Each structure stands twice: as structure tokens, then as C-alpha cells.
Structure 1
Amino acid sequence: MTTTRTRYLIRPLPAPLLAGVRRSGLDAAGQPVERRRAEGGEPLRCCLRDATPGEPLLLFGYAPPIPPGPYRELGPVFAHDADCPGPAAPGGYPADWRGRPQVLRAYDGAGRIVGGRQHDGDDPEAVLAELLADPVVAQLHSRNVVYGCFMFAVVRA
């Protein structure tokens, strides 16, 4: 996605990581994944949309992509139980999540939090560009406001 000054990409969970989780049945902590049917509305980190009722899902622990250190967390995420085509608009802000309040955490190259901001979801591109304008910021993580769960990563293009 392009703004007037900053080019960036929205990244879902990496396909190779998802394939490994599906194959092994284990999450980032070595714990068994939970297989379940969607109630509807679960945020899918593989295709960056909300689940529809009845879809087969995995719920598992995921460690977002930052170097090991005190700011690296392990938290719950939902993904399809089988391969999916990924986001409808690869690299762009998820259409299903536009208008949804989110927290953006900014990380430096060492994986330390160097800023962040809550936004209402109405103009997420402006907030992403603003945070990425700081040259110290290596990546952003979007997080659910209520639960704090990782939603997706944002990196410079």
C-alpha cells in the first residue's frame, strides 16, 4: 500500500509458519493447537478477515516476528485449519477490519517497543504512515484493543 511518503505492506501470518503448525499440531510454545468450528467473527490471521460461522479453525499460540527479548510475546491467534488463499487485497489494510479500533505498537530493529498509538480504524493508513515516518521504527504490530492479541504486522515496502 502506498501513502504520499511511506510505502508499507500489511503482513498476515507467514504461510510456511501456518503450514508447520497445521502439520505438527503444535504452537510456538510446543502446545497442541485447538481445532474448532467458528462461531463467527473470529479474526483470522491467515487471510485477515473475520470468520463465518462453521468454518474449521485453529486456535494456537503465536510469537510475533521480533527478535527474542523481553518484548517478544506469545499470544492466541485464529487461522483456518486448512490452506486458504490469504488476504483478498494482499499488502493492503484488511477491509473487514476497517473502522475497528486497534492498537499499533512500534518496534525497533532490536525488538524493543519504541512507540505506539490507538486508532479508531477510520483512516488507518494515516496512522501507519505517521508511525513509520520515524526512522527508528522497524515494524508495527496491530493488536486487538480489548484482548491485546496480535492481528498483523506492518513493514516498510
Structure 2
Amino acid sequence: MIKPNGFVVRPLPSELLHVVRRTRRDAADRPVEATRADGGEPLRCCLRDAAPGEELLLFGYVPPVADGPYREIGPVFAHAAACPGPEPTDAYPAAWRGREQILRTYDRQGRIHGGRRHDGGDPEPVIAELLADPAVRQLHSRNVVYGCFMFAVERAEE
């Protein structure tokens, strides 16, 4: 979804989700775990928290960075069945406003370039400031407690 503030928020790619749902295998070729939501699980397919009882998949995902020592596999939740993805919005995912996050930046070589902890209350100025550094290729929003990847952010022109 393209943002008027100059960046694009990228949830998990729909093509990747289609493959995971069809093959039931993750990025490390391990079986995915099917589970029923307790409620509150962050869904990386539609950028909101799961409601109790929703059918989910838990699987290993490789966030989009260049191949190298900072590339990792981490756990993510997504709907077990196809969903429409995030609702169109012109801002940070509305359902996650106010959620404390780590905004971690990466350069073109896939190395961590910096970042910031933020309270989620007004993330657009922080994101814009971090993306203003010409060495930054992309930014990842990450869960503060677990360190899990939430979504990627890139400049709109990339």
C-alpha cells in the first residue's frame, strides 16, 4: 500500500502466503503449525491482531533483507486461509498504533544500519526520519518483547 508520506508498508507477500498455505512448509522447509487463535496474535498477512478462534498458521519467515549474516528466520502468524490483506490506509497499520515497537533499519548489503524504539503513537515522523538517511534501504518494525518481524517499510519510489 503506497503512503502519501513517502513510504510503502509491506506485509508478508501474498505469493509467499499462497505457497505456505498450499505446501504447509516454511522458509526452512519445516512443517507449518496450524493453530486456533487465543486472540492478540499479530497477523503479518493483514497487519492486525487475531480475534479469538481464528484459524492461523505459525511458521518460519525470512524477512526481506539481502543475503548475509543479518538475514534470519523468525516466527510469524498468518491466517490459515487467504485473507484480503491489510485494509487500505494512508498511514501506519491502524490496528497497531500505540503498540511499542522497534524500528530497525537496514542498508543495501542487508546489514543493520540503526534503529529506534518507539511507542507506536505517532510513528510516521520517526519512519520518515529513519528513511531520510540515504544509506537506509528499508526498515523493519519488530515486536519489542519477542523481537519478531512485524512488517517492512520502504521508500515509495523503491
Report if aligned partners of 1:11, 1:91 keep a CA contact under 8 Å in 2: no
Alpha carbons of 1:81 and 1:42: their partners in 2 closer, same or farther (altered >3 Å)?
Answer: same
Aligned-pair RMSD on alpha carbons? 0.9
- Distance in 1 between residues matched to 2:91 and 2:111, nearest whole Å: 25
- Distance in 2 between residues matched to 1:88 and 1:30, nearest whole Å: 30
Normalising by the residue count of structure 2, what TM-score does the alignment of the two structures yield?
0.95
Post-superposition shift, 1:146? 0.1
Q: State the secondary structure of the residue aligned to 2:129.
A: helix
- Distance in 2 between residues matched to 1:2 and 1:122, nearest whole Å: 18
Report if aligned partners of 2:9, 2:151 keep a CA contact under 8 Å in 1: yes
Q: State the secondary structure of the residue aligned to 1:72.
A: coil
Any residues of structure 2 matched to 1:1-80 within 5 Å, and which?
A: 1-3=3-5, 7-80=6-79
Post-superposition shift, 1:45? 0.1
- Distance in 2 between residues matched to 1:83 and 1:139, nearest whole Å: 26
Report if aligned partners of 1:44, 1:78 keep a CA contact under 8 Å in 2: yes
Q: How many residues align?
A: 154
What percent of counterpart residues are identical?
Answer: 69
1:136 aligned onto 2:138: no
- Distance in 1 between residues matched to 2:99 and 2:127, nearest whole Å: 15
85-94 or 98-107: bigger deviation: 85-94
Q: State the secondary structure of the residue aligned to 1:137.
A: coil
Equivalent residue, structure 2, for 1:116: 115
Post-superposition shift, 1:150? 0.2
Alpha carbons of 1:146 and 1:37: their partners in 2 closer, same or farther (altered >3 Å)?
Answer: same
- Distance in 1 between residues matched to 2:59 and 2:92, nearest whole Å: 23
- Distance in 1 between residues matched to 2:76 and 2:89, nearest whole Å: 19
- Distance in 2 between residues matched to 1:90 and 1:67, nearest whole Å: 28
Q: Give structure 1 regions of 4+ aligned residues with deviation exceeding 6 angstroms.
A: none
> Which digits, 9 at most, give the CA deviation of each residue in 1:35-60, with x for residues without a partner?
01100000000000000000000000
